[in-house]
Chain A
């Protein structure tokens, strides 16, 4: 148990659907991250929040919309996705910035049909 939970664990959605991924951390951390993990590719950082403020948007298409209502919760809102967006979406948190240990959740396996 890493202290970072993600729901749902699996999600299948059509290209016209709207869905949201949820991440929650119980570690008292101040930074939260969304990563995309695709086969044969490095983990790709998508968004970073520090103290609820977005500090990184790594050129992510607008069909992905993050939300961080407080330091413990992070959402990723999805709409009009493409099949190439199918991947494992990982949430992570760290006490401070990216140069401190990041704790990852188990991920949401997303399939876009």
Chain B
């Protein structure tokens, strides 16, 4: 089945710096890749997603890139702010057989003021 690896598990940056989180997936049939942000005491919230027919998508300070050949995708946050501190999860949608989202283990991002 699908397997999603996420790195790093923790990331600490200074306010204003950029943060990059990387994920790899195993199933070449996966075609939808969302990123979720989970703040303390809350459920995950979608922040950006990308489908396999595009290589990059941007929304203000957040961007996601996808390399289908290498089967990896990355989240880029520029000009980080303390409120970006949270746990970020990548996921891959496996449409072959059982349709479900497979999540990575998460990255705890800390933005230091």
Residues of A within 8 A of B (CB): 2, 4, 40-43, 45, 48, 55-56, 58, 90, 92, 97-99, 101-107
Shortest Cβ distance from B44 into A: residue: A104
Number of interface residues of B (CB under 8 A): 24
Work out how many contacts link A and B, with CB atoms closer than 8 A: 53
Asked if B95 is at the interface (CB within 8 A of a chain A CB), the reply is yes
Whether B45 and A2, one on each chain, are in contact in the complex, defined by CB atoms closer than 8 angstroms, is yes
Q: For the complex formed, measure the closest distance between the CB of B94 and the CB atoms of chain A, giving whole angstroms.
A: 9
Residues of A within 8 A of B46 (CB): 101-103
Shortest Cβ distance from A4 into B: residue: B43
Residues of B within 8 A of A90 (CB): 43-44
Q: For the complex formed, measure the closest distance between the CB of B87 and the CB atoms of chain A, giving whole angstroms.
A: 10
Residues of A within 8 A of B45 (CB): 2, 104
Asked if B100 is at the interface (CB within 8 A of a chain A CB), the reply is yes
Given A56-B98, A90-B43, A107-B43, A99 contacting B105 (CB threshold 8 A): no
9 further contact pairs, Cβ within 8 A, besides A42-B103, A56-B98 = A2-B45, A4-B43, A42-B105, A42-B106, A56-B100, A98-B101, A99-B93, A101-B34, A102-B46
